[in-house]
Structure 1
Amino acid sequence: MRNFVIILSFIVAGIISAVMIGFDMEGIASDTYYDDEQEGLQEQIIIRFSHVAAENTPKGRTATKFAALLEDKTNGKVKVHIFPNAILYNDANEWKAVQNGSVEMIAPATAKISEHYPIWQILDLPFAFPNYRAVEAAYEGKIGKALLEGLEHTNVKGLDLWYNGFKQITTQESVIRTPDDFSRLHFRTMPGAVIQEQFNQLNASTSILPFNKTYQNLKVDFVDGQENTLSNINTKKFYEHQQYLTISNHGYLGYGVLMNRDFWNGLSSQVQESINEAMHEATAWGRRHAIEINDQHARAIRSNQSLEIYTLSAEERAQWRKALRPVYNEAEQTVGSDLMEEIETIKENYAH
């Protein structure tokens, strides 16, 4: 009982002292919860950018460049959180993700956009671009402008076209030299009418598979081969289950950079201007460095003893072009004569 009285006396004394001295509750709350690093977080804008390529590829490195440029231009107000390697969404579901706002940005291959807007298939025509200068003429000229403007009344905003490189063929059982070598082989492909028709003309069967599922399907021999750029072949280690690589340059792989339109419309004009500026500069950076990046991966691949590399001769390339010419006739029905004439003009202007 005596101990209880002593303890009660201490408690009463404490209460009396508190009343007399007073609590600075406002100061305590401020000291506990205030953090100057939190200033402006309510104003900060986060852009979630999902893509399927590795970080050390033209797309991966251009995305990183864009994020750095935009953060710098907005003094940190806008931050781009990049999710590479399909860690959020793969190329089978990223389109839906940007449509419903689960992410703000994606950069799918042009073939995947053509699945929704068929006019985009013009960029996947085989042997449409004799060299990198021809690709630039298409991306930054009449064709690129028409494709991006064609999205104006949709729920995605077309920001720009990004560069990667020319596509090559890998196989497991035998090297591909002539169109006849494709016969009865089974290839992994991206979606897109032009790409499907390309393999139809070569008498090959196809399965449309997400990019991040390609390695596994090569491993279990579900598909015999695939087409891709050297940077993608190397970073995804397709060579571990492919014995032959044909340097064909038969098509070009590039990307459309897309943003959710509702998100875009909700931004201030100043932020929109900063995004456009950062995008323009990142695209120019990517155009200059895409060739270099693919060359780095080409050197790595050539040092890989597990791959047998074959480069098409001029005669063999002519055979491929002849075999694939019907793809153009099929595409013109969808793309229209104006853009098809433009692609033919580019081919002629940059043939040498």
Structure 2
Amino acid sequence: MRTFALIALFIFSGVLAAFVFGFDLKDTVQPLEYDDEQEGLEDQVVIKFSHVTSEHTPKGLAARKFAELVEARTNGTISVEIYANGSLYNDQDEQQALKENRVQMIAPATSKLTSQFPKFQILDLPYAFSSYKEVRKAYEGSIGRTLLAELHTSEMKGMGFWYNGFKQMTSRTKALLHPADFEQMHFRRMPSPVIERQFQALDASTSLLPFNKTYQNLNVEFIQGQENTTSNIYTKKMYETQDHLTVSNHGYLGYIVLTNETFWKNLSPEQQKIIESSLADTTDWIRRHSIETNDAHLRELKRTESISIHYLDKEQQEIWRHALEPVYIETEKFTGRELIQELNQIKDQ
């Protein structure tokens, strides 16, 4: 009992001392260990970048290059998350997702803007460009500036153009060497009035299909052919469903890099400057690497031996050009004569 009394007295004395002198937790609670990796995380900017092609295509490579440059130049305070292969949004939904700021950047084919912004149809004209040099003059010159200015009333900001390559034709049933070969065939097309007119001029029918549904529709023979760059044909394994590829170089497939307007305005001037410089460096890089990538994928297509590859000679090219001339007459109604004249000036330089 005596021992119990001593313990009770000790506890009572401790409690009394605490009330008299107050509680001091400074020596009993240890501060959290400082983690320098967490510093500034509340200020980190995350850019969700959605696109529909493979990571190994020119657009996929450019997106990754852009992300690396931005993150390196901002020490990670701006993070770019890449969602490739339409894993987040397909090419029919990504623009609306961008407008609603569910993603902050996309890079659709320029053809995807032609219905909303008719002047973009200039870039889809068949045989608009005969060289990579001409494409660059259009993208980086007055035509490109005119097209970017068209977006000023939308919720999207045009940041610039990215390169892929010239389009080729594929077919399941026969080689496409003459305009008559297209008659009564059914092709996949992008949502471009110019591309629709192109196939109409060749007496072919079309269906408007998302890019990532093209292989499936070729496989079940809902469509018999399509047009695309060799990088897209190879990475999406379209050669498994097609027997013939014609190296026609009849059109050019490129992209426009877009960001959400509100998101952009909320960035600091310094952040905007870093993103713009990273984008400019990426554009210069992919302009050169896109040519190498498409050439490499054409070589891979030749190695597969599952698809026959045909080349148009000069005479055949002229026949194609002549057959497609009516597309220019109709398109001028939407682009205006001035843009057509600027395009012709590029060819003359």
Per-residue Cα deviation, 1:179-208 (whole angstroms, up to 9, x for no partner): 010001000111111000000111101011
User: Cα distance, 1:25 vs. partner?
Assistant: 9.1
Aligned to 2:255: 255
Aligned to 1:134: 134
User: Cα distance, 1:77 vs. partner?
Assistant: 1.3
User: Cα distance, 1:292 vs. partner?
Assistant: 0.5
Deviates more, 1:69-78 or 1:53-62: 69-78
- Contact conserved, 1:45 with 1:77, CA < 8 A, in 2? yes
Within a 5 Å distance, the mapping from 1:74-93 to structure 2 comes to 74-93=74-93
Aligned to 2:274: 274
Tell me the secondary structure at the aligned position of residue 86 of structure 2: coil
Tell me the secondary structure at the aligned position of residue 251 of structure 1: strand
CA–CA distance in structure 2, aligned partners of residues 23 and 180 of structure 1: 89
CA–CA distance in structure 1, aligned partners of residues 270 and 206 of structure 2: 46
Tell me if 1:52 matches 2:52: yes
Moved over 3 A (4+): 19-29
CA–CA distance in structure 1, aligned partners of residues 328 and 70 of structure 2: 39
Tell me the secondary structure at the aligned position of residue 130 of structure 2: coil
Tell me if 1:307 matches 2:298: no
Aligned to 1:118: 118
Within a 5 Å distance, the mapping from 1:1-352 to structure 2 comes to 27-28=29-30, 30-31=32-33, 35-349=35-349
Distance 1:103 1:25, change over 3 A: farther
Aligned to 1:3: none
User: Cα distance, 1:304 vs. partner?
Assistant: 1.1
CA–CA distance in structure 1, aligned partners of residues 26 and 211 of structure 2: 60
User: Cα distance, 1:74 vs. partner?
Assistant: 1.7
Distance 1:26 1:315, change over 3 A: farther
The letter of the residue matching 1:62 is: A
Tell me the secondary structure at the aligned position of residue 254 of structure 2: strand
Per-residue Cα deviation, 1:228-272 (whole angstroms, up to 9, x for no partner): 000000000000110100000000000000000010011111111
In structure 1, runs of 5+ residues without a counterpart are 1-5
User: Cα distance, 1:63 vs. partner?
Assistant: 0.9
CA–CA distance in structure 2, aligned partners of residues 63 and 147 of structure 1: 22
CA–CA distance in structure 2, aligned partners of residues 69 and 26 of structure 1: 46
- Contact conserved, 1:60 with 1:84, CA < 8 A, in 2? yes
CA–CA distance in structure 2, aligned partners of residues 93 and 36 of structure 1: 39
How many percent identity over aligned positions?
A: 49
- Figure out how many residues of one structure are paired with residues of the other and give that number: 338
CA RMSD of aligned residues (A): 2.2
CA–CA distance in structure 2, aligned partners of residues 51 and 123 of structure 1: 20
TM-score, normalised via structure 1 length: 0.91
